[in-house]
Copies of this chain bind each other. A is one copy, B any other.
Amino acid sequence: MTLHADSSPDSSPASERTTVRRLAERGAYDRATIDSIIDEALICHVGFVDDGRPFVIPTIHVRIDNTLYLHGSLRSRLLSVVGSGEPVGVSMTLVDGLVLARSGFHHSMNYRSVVMLGRGRGVDGDEKRRALDAIVEHVVPGRTRDARGPNDKEFAATRVVAIPIDEASAKVRAGGPSDDEDDYALPIWAGVIPLALTPGAPIPDPLLGEGIDVPAYVTNYGRKC
């Protein structure tokens, strides 16, 4: 059962350092694929080195054109490191299904993932404001039309950093199992269990005032971009 464990980060355009080395047939270098995975993923995992050790931290992101934005507290170590321009790694992964082959060895997962490398920078002013709005829209499209925007205090209390998306690649696995020829005769069920991040019924805040309808962007929420 293999995923990215047998792969290496790669780039778009592919550089020697980062070209997919394992299961190259799963490497997808086109930018539209990379962007669609970044946009559908709610969160990313960011890697940074602190005191010689590689930390991995989940956080919300948004892409605007060729730039990935992260946000958080002024005191966040992650954002401090990313904003300093030290090298960072980022990955987003969407799990689409479980692939059950006849042999344990050929079990797999259907997924779409992006691996990025880059150096970040701090962001302020109009770019910061656009990024904060975009982060809300990334998570719940349509929400900025309703939500109260940041006041000066909130704006000042939030740090935003940017990472250019110029060294990134995607890997995609889709479809059913692929077994060894001899195994097809075994009386073992094989196939795919599809998986998707699925919304449940919205839960209104108990403190919600009277006569406030559930917005359509909540009722119809879905991650597919």
Contact = CB atoms under 8 A, between A and B. Distances in A.
A137 to B, nearest CB: 10
A43 interface: yes
Nearest to A223: B195
Contacts of A91: 45, 56-58
A184 B78 CA distance: 32
B54 A88 contact: yes
A22 interface: yes
Name A's interface SS: mixed
A155 B132 CA distance: 49
B78 A188 contact: no
A88 B89 CA distance: 13
Interface of A: 1-9, 17, 21-22, 42-43, 45-49, 51-60, 70-73, 75-79, 87-91, 93, 95, 97-98, 100-105, 107, 109, 111, 113, 115, 117, 132-133, 135-136, 139-140, 143-144, 146-151, 154, 158, 176-177, 179, 183-209, 212-215, 218, 221
Give this chain's copy count: 2
Best-surrounded residue of A101, A144, A204 (most CB of chain B within 10 A)? A204
A103 B153 CA distance: 13
A114 to B, nearest CB: 10
A179 to B, nearest CB: 8
Given A45-B45, A55-B115, A136 B107 contact: yes
A171 to B, nearest CB: 9
12 contacts: A4-B58, A5-B79, A6-B76, A21-B75, A42-B98, A45-B47, A57-B115, A58-B113, A100-B140, A105-B151, A179-B207, A191-B202
A17 to B, nearest CB: 7
